[in-house]
Structure 1
Amino acid sequence: MRLRLVPQNTNIDFFRFWKVFAGLSVLAMAASVVLFFTVGLNFGIDFLGGTTIRTASVQTVDVGAYRQALAPLNLGDVSITEVFDAAASAGQHVSQIRIQEQGGDESITPEVIAQIEAALQTFDPSITFPSVESVGPKVSGELVQVAVLSVVLAIAACLIYIWLRFEWQFSVGAVLSLVHDVTLTIGVFCMLQIRFDLTIIAALLTIIGYSLNDTVVVFDRVRENLRRFKKMELRDVLNLSINETLSRTTMTSFTTLIALIAMFTLGGDVIRGFVFAMIWGIVVGTYSSIFIASTIVLKLGVKRDWSKPSAGAGTQYANIDA
């Protein structure tokens, strides 16, 4: 007897309460926009600016111990990573410590730097500090522009890809669902005030790819069924296609969430924001692929003259057991 996450031959009407789901999504997106302009994001060092301190030591870099040594100084957002430095001497371990701006100053004062060095030398007397650099607001502003541009270009590329692969109605549905996912993710980060840095931008781009993949699988099956059932109502074709791919969607999301929840629980503070964004993105991305993208296609309608065979359809894994 095999365990199934989704019963075989499901027949769920996903459009029965489409007005409710659409209304909730619109309200959630509006709330996210309001939160963005009123509360705002809790930007990290990448976007606010700060100071970067490079350390070198014969001892192995212990990120937890470094963080514990700096905790009494109340420096705010501190990022500590071990890095490779080709200029470092043999046997030396190099780390990069990034500290947010202090009290609106572009760089931290020499007194604070001295306190940081003393705190780390208490833990490791052999540690040295080869360089101290500041990241000003101009550089941070450029990073914000590049981050926004990268997300916009990713969504635009998805728009063109879906348009060429399917029809423009599918393209609009897929892209609006991506905008829905990104907007809600930013809204959650505004509401919870989780640190927003370049790793979260990476998570947003990953969410776009994940959600798009899920949507394409459903749309591929829709295209197949439109050829197969030429007289079936579009609503019924969409329902049939979503039900046929539901096992694949559930299994993919479930197995990915298992790994992400383990990382969120055991991974520590350094990657917690990134993992949270991924968890939220998978949940909302799965929801939008089923309830948002398909609903938009239903309302826009699609042509029913599919004369070409579906040899290029990529749904051979859509019916896996789940």
Structure 2
Amino acid sequence: MSKKNTQKENVTLPKKVYNFCSKKKLILGVVIAVIVVFIAGAIIRGIHLAIEFKGGTLITYTYQGDINTNDVASNVKDIVGSSVIVRKGESLDSGGKQITISFTSEEGLTADRQTELTSTLREKFPDNALEIYDSNDVSPTSGHEFLLKCFIAVLFAALIVIIYIAIRFRNIGGWSAGVCSIFALCLDLLVAFTTTVVCGFSIDSNIVAVFLTILGYSINNTIVIYDRIRENRKLMPKASLNELINVSCTQSLTRSIRTSVTTIGTMLIVTIVVLVTGYDSLLSFSVPLMMGLISGTFSSLFVAPVTWSWWKNKKAKKEKEAKSSK
């Protein structure tokens, strides 16, 4: 008996094989729920683009003592005439206290208006010894270009993933597997984006970092599932595609859960630390990433393989009907 035949006979199946392929309604329900929440969040909370995407002005002041950011925002708003965001921080060089004021401004901040703003703040907060530290203008054109480049980067990465999966898993229908993996990835990115909108975070460079991180994490998990399916195809040549997917996902379930608990737990700790220390700017990274990672675990086990199964079975059914009609 050949070694190959021996391997086929020694296939060890899990004690209980879960029927992942029967969860099409669950997947559809999750996708619809995410879309509904996104639309509701966009209507109720709105979508807020950060300055790097829509243009504006950033001014940083050093200060002493304690200062009320709401009062600062109110005084600046009276001068610039647009919504203002004020954040506290510390200088990396000296460790001194800083406040960063950001607001939209199509024309930028002229020297005269900057002088007026600084004088007003010093007058309103005489005990805080405000000194200008840095000032930057971001034009709307640059912001739009940056947004377009971010979109192209994500799109290019998705295209590379499809090509990679198509070549690596060509023996089990690589192109369809690649497209389904991108569909699953789109759900993960939508979950992260929806979290950003619902939580009221501004759409800034953090969301781009979140998208790229989720892309790598989710695709890695999906490739592990596909690789298991490919190996089981050799060991179980007579099994149907649904049987292969159910067995492969069941075998990978424990590994996926353990990996996810570790990664998501780390992001949860980061979120808690950020909340305790008051560095709120990191929340727009940690919270969407955490939700995206949770979605990535679900999509790798359910969305990608199950939609791929639906695609392949539907294609096989059409080919069978075409042959029978001849």
Partner SS state of residue 195, structure 2: helix
Written as runs of structure 1 = structure 2, the 5 A alignment for 1:107-256 is 107=109, 109-110=113-114, 111-116=116-121, 122-123=127-128, 125=129, 128-129=131-132, 131-166=134-169, 167-256=174-263
State the alpha-carbon separation in 2 of the partners of residues 241 and 119 from structure 1: 66
**Residue 107 of structure 1: SS of its match in structure 2?**
coil
2:46 and 2:150 map into 1 onto residues whose CA distance is: 16
Unaligned runs of 5+ in 1: 1-7, 85-90, 304-322
- How far apart, in 1, do the equivalents of 2:197 and 2:90 lie? 29
Contact kept, 8 Å, 2:55 with 2:104, in 1: the verdict is no
> Percent sequence identity over matched residues?
24
1:100 matched residue in structure 2: 102
Matched, 1:53 2:64: no
Residue in 2 aligned with 1:43?
A: 49
Of 272, 281, 304 in structure 2, the residue corresponding to residue 270 of structure 1 is 281
1:247–1:104 CA distance, 2 compared to 1 (3 A): same
Distance 1:136 1:94, change over 3 A: farther
Matched, 1:285 2:287: no
Instruction: Show the counterpart of 1:19.
Output: 25
Q: CA deviation at 1:280?
A: 0.7
Q: After superposition, what is the alpha-carbon deviation per residue over 1:89-109, rounded to whole angstroms, capped at 9, x for unaligned?
A: xx7568986533258764384
The 3 A distance-change label for structure 1 pair 51 and 128 is: same
Partners of 2:51 and 2:104 within 8 A in 1: no
RMSD: 3.4
More helix by share: 2
CA-to-partner distance for each residue in 1:15-57, whole Å, 9 max, x for gaps?
2232332243145347646865896522222223222335679
Q: Which residue in 2 is equivalent to 1:4? A: none
Give the Cα–Cα distance (whole angstroms) in 2 for the partners of residues 279 and 130 of structure 1. 34
CA separation of 1:96/1:143 partners in 2, compared to 1, >3 Å: closer, same or farther?
A: farther
Partner SS state of residue 226, structure 1: helix
The answer to whether the 8 A contact 2:195-2:287 is kept is no
TM-score (norm 2): 0.73
On the 8 A contact 2:271/2:283 being kept in 1, the answer is yes
Residue aligning to 1:315: none
Unaligned runs of 5+ in 2: 1-13, 77-83, 316-326
Q: Using the TM superposition, give the Cα deviation of residue 82 of structure 1 relative to its aligned residue in structure 2, in angstroms.
A: 5.9
Local SS of the residue matching 1:99: strand
Change (3 A) 1:148 1:96: farther
The 3-state SS of whatever aligns with 1:278 is helix
CA–CA distance in structure 2, aligned partners of residues 145 and 94 of structure 1 = 36
Which amino acid in the other structure matches residue 236 of structure 1? E
Aligned length: 281
One-letter amino acid matched to 1:270:
S
2:86 aligned residue: 78
Q: C-alpha distance in 2, partners of 1:55/1:47?
A: 23
